[in-house]
Amino acid sequence: MPILEITGLVAVLALAWFWLDSLKARDIAVLAARRVCESEGLQFLDESVSVSSIKPARDDGGTLMLRRVYGFEFSDTGDNRQPGDVVTLGHRVVHVNLGLTATATVHRLH
């Protein structure tokens, strides 16, 4: 096999891994946002999250992983939209921020 074909195959496999890994991390972030909203008596709007950043980071053990920040919206009154975010490291939720000004609700999940 020529080197160009091997390089192309490796690139396609890396992209496929990244896509599947991102889908799993997004599903985990949606579940975390939904659960935190339910526990706080809030409405999780649109039942979705959107990625706002992806960068490499190390976990507590020093392993290099992808740190993703997902934004979402919730409502505390039913007629407004408030921003929140979920931070994942690999497939583990490490932080959920609802950003409520009065209570500054932050959930750290380890």
pLDDT higher at 110 or 97: 97
Whether the pLDDT of residue 105 is over 90: the answer is no
Q: What is the pLDDT of residues 82-93, one digit of tens each?
A: 999 999 999 999
Residue 95: name the closest of 50, 33, 6 by CA: 33
Quick one: the chain helix, strand, coil %, rounded to 5?
35, 35, 30
**Separation CA 85–CA 110 (nearest Å):** 16
- State residue 48's pLDDT score: 94
Whether the pLDDT of residue 102 is over 60: the answer is no
- State residue 109's pLDDT score: 59
- State residue 11's pLDDT score: 95
- State residue 103's pLDDT score: 43
Task: For residue 54, give Cα distances in angstroms to 20, 22, 35, 70, 92.
Answer: 15, 10, 23, 9, 14
The C-alpha angle 12, 15, 16, rounded to 5 degrees, equals 85
Helix (H, G, I), strand (E, B) or coil at 49: coil
> pTM above 0.95?
no
Q: What is the pLDDT of residues 14-59, one digit of tens each?
A: 999 999 999 999 999 999 999 999 999 999 999 999 999 999 999 9
Sketch the domain layout of the chain as residue ranges. 3-107
